[in-house]
Amino acid sequence: MIYTSESIQKAINSLSSLPTIGKKTAQRLVFFLLKQDKEYVSNFANSLVELKDKVNFCSKCFNFTEVDPCPICTSTKRDLSIICVVEEPNDVFAIEKTGDYRGLYHVLHGSINPLDGISAKDIKITELISRLTNIQEVILALNPSVEGEVTTQYLAKIIKPLSIKVTRIARGLPIGSNLEYVDEATISRAIDGRIEIL
């Protein structure tokens, strides 16, 4: 399709470069924006520019933050002896939403993935190790993919010799599911990850 305005074409190209947004959706969004008043559009554009200007990585946990160190790392209400290790900042949001976890985080920004040319030194592992003084437990909350598993084992191998407790999140049955209807691969993983009742 050829547009009568180069600006429209440019805006469509920008929007459709975003993940999950196709050309058709981008076109719809652009026509929506054209119908809004100028203030709406400037606020919208500024919020994007501010994002890049103000948001940075926390120098301790490598989560996104506007102040360094981030509010979680400096909070007085959190348990400073536990670190939960995740692959991406998204994962911090997911765990924070539960409101149950009160320790610290560490974002690796990826997992060990030779196919993508990512080795242990390319993710924030050294930075994690340097934070471990006074830490009593490291919880590994990586994805259940082969890459996440390799990274989990890797971290366990280097952290355990430091006499720090290393745990991983359980992969079990979905709550509310009836055992009879859960596929056997999930049940088998849940049995592998069984815990003793104390």
Footprint (CB under 5 A) of Zn ion, residues 94-133: none
Q: Is 92 in the site for Zn ion (CB under 5 A)?
A: no
Q: Which residue, 34 or 80, has its beta carbon nearer to Zn ion?
A: 80
Query: What, of other proteins, Zn ion, none, does residue 61 touch, CB below 5 to 8 Å by kind?
Result: Zn ion
Q: Is 162 in the site for other proteins (CB under 8 A)?
A: no
Q: Is 146 in the site for other proteins (CB under 8 A)?
A: yes
Among 154, 164, 169, 173, binds other proteins (CB under 8 A): 154
Q: Is the peptide bond before 174 cis (omega within 30 degrees of 0)?
A: no
Q: Which two tokens stand for residue 114?
A: 């030779």
Binding mask 164-193 for other proteins (x = CB under 8 A): -------------------xxx--x-----
Stretch that binds other proteins, among 38-46, 59-67, 75-83, 118-126 (CB under 8 A): 118-126
Cα–Cα distance list, 122 to 43, 111, 132, 141 (Å): 36, 9, 19, 19
Footprint (CB under 5 A) of Zn ion, residues 27-86: 58, 60-61, 69-70, 73
Shortest Cβ 89–other proteins spacing (Å): 24
Shortest Cβ 42–other proteins spacing (Å): 35
Determine contact, residues 150/179, Cβ cutoff 8 Å: no
Q: Is 119 in the site for other proteins (CB under 8 A)?
A: yes
| Residues engaged in binding Zn ion (CB under 5 A) | 58, 60-61, 69-70, 73
